[in-house]
Amino acid sequence: MQTINIFDTTLRDGEQSAGVNLNFSEKLEIAKQLERLNVNIIEAGFPAASKGDFSSVKSIAETVNNASVTGLARAVLTDIDAAWDALKGGAEPRLHTFLATSPIHRDYKLKMSKEQVIETAVETVKYAAQRFPIVQWSAEDASRTELPYLAEIVEKVIQAGARVINIPDTVGYATPAEYGAIFKYLKENVPSINKVSLSAHCHDDLGMATANSLAAIENGATQIEGTINGIGERAGNAALEEIAVALYIRNDFYQASTRLNLSEISRTSSLVSKLTGMPVPANKAVIGANAYAHESGIHQDGVLKEKTTYEIISPQLVGVQTNSLVLGKHSGRHAFKNRLEELGLDVPERDIKNLFTVFKDLADRKKEMTDEDLAAIVLEEKLSK
């Protein structure tokens, strides 16, 4: 069984979501909840970006004991110095430094040759490794980089001291087969690859971040990066709760697991949503309000007979306490009767048929039928006698 390390970047890439700005105490509160969730690594921010980011990274590093805390640095010595000052008080200071490798980024953004990019990456990793016990190096836009060049630079930064190599799909461009193939290629073509942990970092521009992360695991990644609720730059990052639950539910297929306390997922998701002001869509996998709700009569009947007919994840697994049968116009008589019993509404069998007709008429006009609606229907029926 392969163990996958979870690298949470809710406080760094997640905070890069348009319109999100977390203050010091909000960041600390999220970091403490991530510790309860039991993630392996918390990327607490970008220390050189602002005084605020510096102090929150510092205080998170000094507060969190149960996870390794990291901070981001460009391939610039002063960024690495700032990250060291922020992280040195932590239990296991870890640096995350990056440089773009793709032709688009080299030519238009960095205006650097292939050789200059290698030279800068090697120099900055060597500098960082003199202080940090763990240096992670990311090839920004790796998925749009020429594979032989990617293999060459990865080998050189490993020799310079990197302990974790991250292969970001920065713009969410790769397909699962392509992204998996990059990991396979690096495994086969980088001589020192087995000395490091290989990490996946996916964005969701084409809605493939979770699938891409899982494809990376199938091809040798042992660390997955992402955010809670999948928040992040543009369409967001890979949603960690989706990946962790997919590994748990489809363990038969992936043969890999994380150390996450899955029952803390719902609480973590709600906290991140509340503090970032980013609502979770109702139909979002694993944590959406409708993820465990069954509305149609056929599904409700199936679930009442045997839950696993239509429910592959039990809501309790991720800490959701819910009554999963939502009554509406698609509901059947089985679910209707079941809810009346749950509510303790004593209705003789002979009245059920008539009450169900009244229920359906009302449900046709309303989106969702509440327990109060049911009580009113039963009361009215009693009074009419």
Among 144, 163, 201, 299, binds ligand KIV (CB under 6 A): 201
Instruction: Give the whole-angstrom CA distance, residue 70 versus residue 5.
Output: 14
Nearer to Zn ion, 13 or 155 (CB): 13
For residues 262 to 301, the per-residue mask of contacts with Zn ion, x marking binding by CB under 5 A and - elsewhere, is ----------------------------------------
Question: CA 178, 137, 220, 229: dihedral to nearest 10 degrees?
Answer: -70
13 is in an annotated binding site: yes
98 binds ligand KIV (CB under 6 A): yes
Among 14, 47, 71, 168, binds ligand KIV (CB under 6 A): 168
138 binds ligand KIV (CB under 6 A): yes
189 is in an annotated binding site: no
Instruction: Give the whole-angstrom CA distance, residue 103 versus residue 112.
Output: 9
Among 8, 13, 79, 140, binds Zn ion (CB under 5 A): 13
Question: CA 264, 266, 271, 273: dihedral to nearest 10 degrees?
Answer: 150
- CB within 8 A of 346, min separation 6: which ones? none
143 binds, among ligand KIV, Zn ion, none (CB under 5 to 8 A by kind): none
Nearer to Zn ion, 176 or 226 (CB): 226
CB 21 → ligand KIV: shortest distance, Å?
Answer: 18
Binding residues for ligand KIV, total number by CB under 6 A: 9
Please, which of residues 165-194 interact with Zn ion by CB under 5 A? none
The answer to whether the CB of 93 falls within 8 A of the CB of 45 is no
356 binds ligand KIV (CB under 6 A): no
Nearer to Zn ion, 183 or 359 (CB): 183
144 binds, among Zn ion, ligand KIV, none (CB under 5 to 8 A by kind): none
CB 211 → ligand KIV: shortest distance, Å?
Answer: 17
65 is in an annotated binding site: no
Closest CA to 57 of 74, 33, 73, 78: 73
227 binds ligand KIV (CB under 6 A): no
140 binds Zn ion (CB under 5 A): no
Nearer to ligand KIV, 156 or 203 (CB): 203
Among 56, 102, 124, 170, binds ligand KIV (CB under 6 A): 170
Burial class of 179 by CB neighbour count within 10 A (0 to 12, 13 to 18, 19+)? buried
8 is in an annotated binding site: no
CB 338 → Zn ion: shortest distance, Å?
Answer: 46
138 binds, among ligand KIV, Zn ion, none (CB under 5 to 8 A by kind): ligand KIV
CB under 6 A: which stretch of 82-90, 102-110, 162-170, 336-344 binds ligand KIV?
162-170
Nearer to ligand KIV, 156 or 201 (CB): 201
CB 97 → ligand KIV: shortest distance, Å?
Answer: 9
CB under 5 A: which stretch of 10-18, 117-125, 173-181, 216-224 binds Zn ion?
10-18
As annotated, the binding site for Mn(2+) includes 13, 201, 203, 237
Contact residues toward ligand KIV (CB under 6 A) are 13, 98, 138, 140, 166, 168, 170, 201, 203
Q: Which residues are near Zn ion by CB under 5 A?
A: 13
